[in-house]
Amino acid sequence: MSTISTDTHQHAGPHDADHGHHHPPAGFKRWFYTTNHKDIGTLYLLFALTMFFIGGLMAMVIRAELFQPGLQLVQPDFFNQMTTVHGLIMVFGAVMPAFTGLANWLIPMMIGAPDMALPRMNNWSFWILPFAFAILLMSLFMEGGGPGFGWTFYAPLSTKYSGDSTALFVFSVHIMGISSIMGAINVIVTIFNLRAPGMTWMKMPLFVWTWLITAFLLIAVMPVLAGTVTMVLTDKYFGTSFFDAAGGGDPVLFQHIFWFFGHPEVYIMILPAFGIVSSIVPTFSRKPLFGYASMVYATSSIALLSFLVWAHHMFTTGMPVFAELFFMYCTMLIAVPTGVKVFNWVATMWRGALTFEVPMMFAIAFIVLFTIGGFSGLMLAITPADFQYHDTYFVVAHFHYVLVTGAIFSIIAAAYYWLPKWTGHMYDETLGQWHFWCSLISVNLLFFPMHFVGLAGMPRRIPDYALQFADFNALISIGGFAFGLSQLLFLWVIVKCINGGKPATNQVWEGAEGLEWQLTSPPPYHSFTTPPDVK
Residue 21 lies in a domain: no
For residues 74 and 140, the answer to whether their CB atoms sit within 8 Å is no
Q: Please say if 312 is a catalytic residue.
A: yes
- The length of the chain is 535
DSSP for residue 425: B
- pTM equals 0.91
Q: Please say if 164 is a catalytic residue.
A: no
Which residue in the list 39, 235, 265, 428 is annotated as catalytic? 265
Which residue in the list 31, 105, 211, 267 is annotated as catalytic? 267
Q: Please say if 435 is a catalytic residue.
A: no
| Separation CA 504–CA 420 (nearest Å) | 6
Which pLDDT value is given to residue 482?
98
Residue 12 lies in a domain: no
Q: Please say if 263 is a catalytic residue.
A: yes
Which residue in the list 37, 236, 341, 400 is annotated as catalytic? 341
Which residue in the list 203, 460, 461, 496 is annotated as catalytic? 460
For residues 241 and 247, the answer to whether their CB atoms sit within 8 Å is yes
Which residue in the list 63, 86, 287, 421 is annotated as catalytic? 86
Residue 371 lies in a domain: yes
Which residue in the list 65, 115, 235, 386 is annotated as catalytic? 115
Residue 124 lies in a domain: yes
Q: Please say if 195 is a catalytic residue.
A: no
Q: Domain range holding 84?
A: 39-518
Residue 32 lies in a domain: no
Which pLDDT value is given to residue 507?
76
Residue 349, domain CATH: 1.20.210.10
Residue 527 lies in a domain: no
For the chain (535 residues), the mean pLDDT of every run of 10, in chain order, is 41 44 81 96 98 98 97 94 98 98 97 97 98 98 94 96 96 98 98 96 97 98 98 97 96 98 97 98 94 97 97 96 97 97 98 95 98 97 97 98 98 97 94 98 98 97 96 98 98 96 80 44 44 49
CA atoms within 13 A on the CB side of 480: 24
Which residue in the list 180, 392, 405, 521 is annotated as catalytic? 180
Q: Please say if 267 is a catalytic residue.
A: yes
What type of residue sits at position 262?
A: G
- Count structural domains, the chain: 1
| Separation CA 292–CA 242 (nearest Å) | 46
Q: Please say if 9 is a catalytic residue.
A: no
Q: Please say if 39 is a catalytic residue.
A: no
For residues 222 and 116, the answer to whether their CB atoms sit within 8 Å is no
Phi then psi for 455, rounded to 5 degrees? -65, -30
Q: Please say if 517 is a catalytic residue.
A: no
DSSP for residue 17: G
Residue 531 lies in a domain: no
| Separation CA 126–CA 110 (nearest Å) | 21
Which pLDDT value is given to residue 500?
87
For residues 458 and 466, the answer to whether their CB atoms sit within 8 Å is yes
Which residue in the list 33, 127, 151, 492 is annotated as catalytic? 151
Q: Please say if 200 is a catalytic residue.
A: no
Which pLDDT value is given to residue 24?
76
Q: Please say if 341 is a catalytic residue.
A: yes
Residue 525's SS3 state is: coil
Residue 535 lies in a domain: no
Quick one: how far is CA 81 from the chain centroid?
22
Which residue in the list 159, 162, 278, 527 is annotated as catalytic? 278
Which residue in the list 179, 279, 355, 439 is annotated as catalytic? 179
